[in-house]
Amino acid sequence: MKFKIKYLSFLFSLNLFCFLLKAQDAQFSQYFNNPLYLSPAFTGLTDEHRGILNYRNQWLGLSKAFQTIHLSYDYNFEDKKNGVGVFLFRDMAGSSRLNTSNVGASYAYDFKLKNELEIRSGVQVNYVTKTVNTANLIFNDQLIPNAPSVSADANTQFSKHSYLDIAAGAMVNTLNYWAGISVAHVNRPTTSDLSEDSKLPMRISVHGAYKFIQSKKGNTLLKYISPTFNYRMQGNFDQLDVGVLYVNVPINLGIGYRGLPVKKYLPTYSNNDAISFLVGMDIKEHKMRVAYSYDLSISRLIGSSTGSHELSLIYELSKRAEKARKTITTGPTF
């Protein structure tokens, strides 16, 4: 009982912080440019080699807000109908510099139904480490004389925590469309040493895209319009991303909306988050694609966040002859 009282204010601060975030997981506006984070079923969905760097700086106008980096590499074993991938992830947030680091591996298998129709399923294993710098936090014992000591013990009790995290996903894939579902935190890992009840809620994502093809060469799409969506829910909260991309190789342009206006968590709280604008380019001579997006906040943070910035670098390399390739590489830009 004494232990629970001692850490009451500390736990309350952490729970309040998580509540204001609306979810425990990082988000990317360019979810279609971060396939291994979206779903392990996308692992190896490339001609051969693929490396991707994703960087997001969210709410730049707020001091020490959120910075997220995701670096991934995956490879397609076309003859064996499967793909493997590895990735590194780091997210930093808040004045306490809450740091989430993740190293993991993923695997996907391809079930061919027809020449241009396949079902892919995948699994992902992650090792996650969370650290926090409590030296930048102010506790009740630093403000109230003779209050229960929290600040001294917080440095040892909540400085670092690690756990194993598992995700799974499946998708149907054709040249014209893809649609899938993924579930992160399948094993519901405990994210804190302070409480056994701090299990991470599963994050369920339903996503897809359709391509109105206007020009192509073989299986290579040259010009198309692609509406996309990504609906996800975690714990008591959910969110919807919808958008449309116009691709006329080498140019990529897009606009999207994030929010769920039909659902309100509070009577006076409008569930609108941001409008995203994207511009990208294929650099064929370097086998690279670059995409930048800016999120214009339309929530209550509109006057202080100054929006969010996101950058994606996609590098793809294949030594296989184009006529011999069997993989249906799909998606708006990957």
Q: What DSSP assignment string belongs to 209-262? A: EE-EEEEEETTEEEEEEEEEEEEEEETTEEEEEEEEEEEETTEEEEEEEEE-TT
pLDDT for the residue numbered 330: 55
Q: How far apart are CA 177 and CA 251, in angstroms?
A: 20
Going from N- to C-terminal start, the domains of the chain cover: 2-324
- Tell me the CATH number for domain 2-324: 2.40.160.40
pLDDT tens, the chain, 334 aa long? 443 434 444 443 444 343 334 346 888 999 999 999 999 999 999 888 999 999 999 866 566 668 899 999 999 998 888 999 999 999 987 655 678 899 999 999 998 887 778 999 999 999 999 887 666 666 655 556 665 555 555 555 556 789 999 999 999 998 889 999 999 999 999 876 555 567 889 999 999 999 999 998 877 788 999 999 999 999 888 899 999 999 998 999 999 999 887 777 666 666 788 999 999 999 988 789 999 999 998 876 655 567 889 999 999 988 865 555 566 665 555 4
Q: How far apart are CA 331 and CA 334, in angstroms?
A: 5
Return the ∠ at Cα 272 (arms to 266 and 274), rounded to 5°.
150
Q: Which residues fall within 8 angstroms of residue 114, CB to CB, at 6 or more apart?
A: none
The values of phi and psi at residue 126, to 5°, are: -125, 145
pLDDT for the residue numbered 322: 59
Cα–Cα distances in angstroms (integers) from residue 102 to residues 20, 22, 334, in the given order: 23, 21, 23
pLDDT for the residue numbered 216: 84
In this structure, what token pair is assigned to residue 52? 């991707």
Sign of the Cα torsion 275, 18, 165, 162 reads: positive
pLDDT for the residue numbered 135: 63
